[in-house]
Amino acid sequence: MNKRHASRSLSSSASKTKAPGAHPASAGAGKGAENPVLAELRPGQSVELLKELHILTRDGRLNQDSRRKLKQVEHLVQFIEKIVGELTPQGEQLTLADHGAGKSYLGFILYDLLLKGQGSGTVYGIETRPELVERSRALAGRLGFERMRFLNIAAADAAHDSALPERIDIVTALHACDTATDDAIAFGLAKKAQAMVLVPCCQAELAASLRQSKALQLSRTPLAELWRHPLHTREMGSQLTNVLRCLYLESQGYSVTVTELVGWEHSLKNELIIARHTGHKKRSAGERLRALLGEFGLELLLPVRYPALADGSSSQDATPATQDGK
């Protein structure tokens, strides 16, 4: 064997030899060379965190369910990242509250990708199940995520809890079931949030109300045909719930965008509501909200879900319908 061939063989053999402890702590240079999954992660993203959240397996693999979950969360992070770049914190540092945090997938990944390297900014996870709160606290401790706080309180009570700052910059709610999204909106309004990013889930309250008054509404208006059948009742209740939420946010000084979070093949709970505070309250939005409640026989929900409109208090500084509050 000549020297050139021997050198080439030796080089080839060495390139196939793996260094001991080859699993990286984070996605970075050379990612995907040994594990193609790492190529799907953002630079610097904590692989250890994704393993702890059971999004990645212990050997760094993704199954189909965890891939869908990761795709949803990271798409939402992209929307929030843009908002973070646009706003100026109301206090000394950025504050973000995640309602119905559950296992805090969103809160942890937000902290890892957006706040960890900045040295400032706090994420608050609000969750009613104490075992999940304790688990999240322990995980944050193990990973050294020092500016994460987890609170075992009901979303409806969070606005008045002394453990939270007076103002919150961004409020998020990912798949907060049924009225938990309404609680997150109420919290955001109370905390004068600069932005709210909401992915509603399982809107059942309005469907139940529509079901109870169905016979009366069928005798009153042909529109009731839209929710005469049980399947349509559920779908109409879900659609109407989110329309009313958007109108309420607009009436309270927010511009609202509604879009898809990810493709429907990844999740059926896919509607994304982004609200940015402008300070321009649309009087017409409140008027249309009240009109819709009357049209669907849902007037009793006004003081429960839309209290700022119940006493007309928001109309004092509302934008007239003839201006940009059209």
Asked whether the beta carbons of 205 and 178 are under 8 A apart, the reply is yes
Percent of the chain with pLDDT over 90: 55
CATH superfamily of 64-309: Vaccinia Virus protein VP39 (3.40.50.150)
Residue 207 · residue 237 · CB < 8 Å: yes
Half-sphere exposure of 255 (CA within 13 A, CB side): 3
Q: Quick one: average pLDDT of 250-261? A: 96
Is residue 126 within 8 A of residue 99, CB to CB? The reply is yes
Q: Which residues contact 313 (CB under 8 A, 6 or more apart)?
A: none
CA distances from 102 to 60, 108, 175, 320 (A): 23, 11, 10, 41
- Model confidence at 11: pLDDT above 70: no
Q: How many CB atoms lie within 10 A of CB 146?
A: 11
Coil, strand, or helix at residue 89? coil
d(CA 65, CA 138): 25
pLDDT digits over 191-206, tens only?
999 999 999 988 888 8
Burial (CB count <10 Å: 0-12, 13-18, 19+), residue 189: buried
Confidence check: pLDDT of 78 > 90: yes
Asked if residue 306 has pLDDT above 70, the reply is: yes
* Average pLDDT for 24-53: 73
The predicted pLDDT at position 265 comes to: 55
Residue 7's pLDDT is 47
> Is the C-alpha dihedral spanning 65, 70, 196, 94 positive or negative?
positive
Average pLDDT score over residue span 111-119: 92
- The DSSP bridge pattern shows strands 122-127 and 254-260 to be unpaired
The larger pLDDT score, comparing residue 187 to residue 5, is at 187
Q: Is the pLDDT of residue 74 over 70?
A: yes
- Please give the average per-residue pLDDT across 255-267, as a whole number: 77
The identity of residue 247, as a single letter, is: L
pLDDT, residue 315, reads 46
SS (H, E, C) 138-172: HHHHHHCCCCEEEEECCHHHHHHCCCCCCCCCEEE
Highest mean pLDDT among 47-61, 138-152, 257-271: 138-152
CB 255, CB 275: distance < 8 Å: yes
Could you tell me the pLDDT band of residue 326, with boundaries at 50, 70 and 90? very low
pLDDT of residue 34: 60
Cβ-contact 325, 281 below 8 angstroms: yes
The residues spanned by each domain of the chain are 64-309
Residue 66 pLDDT: 85
Residues 16-25 have pLDDT tens digits of 444 433 334 5
Spatial CA neighbour of 123 closest among 188, 76, 168:
168
> Is residue 254 exposed (0-12), middle (13-18) or buried (19+ Cβ within 10 Å)?
buried
Cα 271 to chain centroid, rounded: 10
CA nearest neighbour of 290 among 275, 276, 305, 279 = 305
Query: pLDDT value at position 22?
Result: 38
Distance CA 80, CA 123 (A): 13
